[in-house]
Amino acid sequence: MTKLEEILRDNNEFVENKEYEKFSTSKKPNKKIVILSCMDTRLTSLLPSAMNIKNGDVKLIKNAGAVITHPFGSTMRSIIVSICEFDVDEVMVVGHYECGMCNENTDEMIEKIKEKGISEEVISTLENAGIDLRTWLHGFDSVEQSIKDTVKTIKNHPLIPSDIAVHGLAMNPATGKIDVIVNGYEDK
Ligand SMILES: [Zn+2]
């Protein structure tokens, strides 16, 4: 059975048994919060449970490292849409300790990209076009600093209303415990 077949089989069962009923909710987040977090697999169910978040409670955006790589990219746009279209009034950046994007060895990653069949020529064409792959692929050196930087990017964004609280939190990926890195109420 392929992965897709397995997923479709489980999905069919889910729908037939009406397991969706307990997830019924609206598009607007009950808690009026948007969370930007990391795609780390340890957080998939841990993060909502550790923050007591149920279906319909928040907007949840995830990427590698819980970062904003570009102030006019899709992550920042998702945050702005959450605020302007879905009544969100607080933003929580939830990074985590032992993040895979921390101290990422970009030379090694480029080697792995080549091992996957991408030619040296493609790499050098991109680099010649001015795309600094090493900088782009590099995550951050400190989780706490990255969280602070991401909070600052959101807080200082020209399209973010000044009364929006932006918090920076760091989660322990084993226990779910949260440390407050930036308290958004203190900087409104
Ligand atoms: Zn991570």
Is 157 marked as binding a ligand?
no
Q: Are residues 65 and 77 in the same domain?
A: yes
* Cα–ligand 1 centroid distance for 24 (angstroms): 29
Q: Are residues 146 and 88 in the same domain?
A: yes
Please tell me the distance between residue 69's alpha carbon and the centre of ligand 1 in angstroms: 14
CA of 43 to the centre of ligand 1 (A): 9
**Is residue 41 located within the same domain as residue 94?**
yes
Q: How far does the centroid of ligand 1 lie from the alpha carbon of residue 173, in Å?
A: 9
The reply to whether 43 and 86 lie within a common domain is yes
Residue 172 belongs to domain spanning? 32-100+141-188
Question: Which amino acid appears at position 38 of this protein?
Answer: C
38 is in an annotated binding site: yes
Predicted pLDDT at 188: 58
Residues of the chain with pLDDT under 50: none
CA of 51 to the centre of ligand 1 (A): 17
Both 92 and 150 in a single domain?
yes
Separation of CA 99 and ligand 1 centre (Å): 4
Q: Which residues pair with 63 in a beta bridge?
A: 38
In a domain, 89, yes or no: yes
Q: What is the pLDDT of residue 139?
A: 87
Residue 102 marked as a ligand binder = no
The partner residues of 167 in beta bridges, in order of sequence, read 92
Q: What pLDDT shows up at residue 103?
A: 85
Evaluated on CA atoms 55, 46, 165, 185, the torsion sign reads positive
Q: Is the dihedral of CA 161, 164, 168, 174 positive or negative?
A: negative
Give 102 Cα–ligand 1 centroid separation in angstroms.
Answer: 8
The 3-state DSSP class for residue 25 equals coil
Nearest residue to 32 via CA among 76, 90, 75: 90
Which residues, including other chains, have CB under 8 Å from residue 144's CB and lie 6 or more apart? 170, 181
Q: Are residues 45 and 83 in the same domain?
A: yes
pLDDT for position 185: 96
- Cα separation of 86 and 89, whole Å? 9
CATH number at residue 86: 3.40.1050.10
Is 96 annotated as contributing to ligand binding?
yes
Contact 154, 93 (CB under 8 A): yes
Distance in Å, CA 109 to ligand 1 centroid:
16
